[in-house]
Amino acid sequence: MLVEPLPRTEYPTTALLVVEVAQTSQARDRDKARDYAAADVPEYWIVDLAARDVTVHRSPMAGIDEEVVAYVDGESVGPILADAPPVPVSELLG
């Protein structure tokens, strides 16, 4: 989870990016996409080790992600965060 910097005494209430690594929890992680969209988390990634892909959910609107794209081994995915470089899917999959 990537969050805005906060004082040490405060806990985050939202995130800029959430990344789930799924080996057996794919169904639950797909359900979480709706929860994160409802919380207006701008970007949610599911790194699916079994399927060897990364599904990226972006642009939440009224509790639904308007953009959902799957990236496969050999491709790169770039976070929407300013100045963040693309990450090769192979590095995320290990």
Domain assignment present for residue 68? The answer is: yes
Burial class (CB in 10 A: 0-12, 13-18, 19+), 36: buried
pLDDT of residue 48: 96
Domain assignment present for residue 4? The answer is: no
Name residues of the chain where pLDDT drops below 70: 82
Domain assignment present for residue 7? The answer is: no
Q: What percent of the chain has pLDDT over 70?
A: 99
Residue 70: domain span: 18-79+86-93
Domain assignment present for residue 6? The answer is: no
The tally of domains found in the chain comes to 1
pLDDT of residue 13: 84
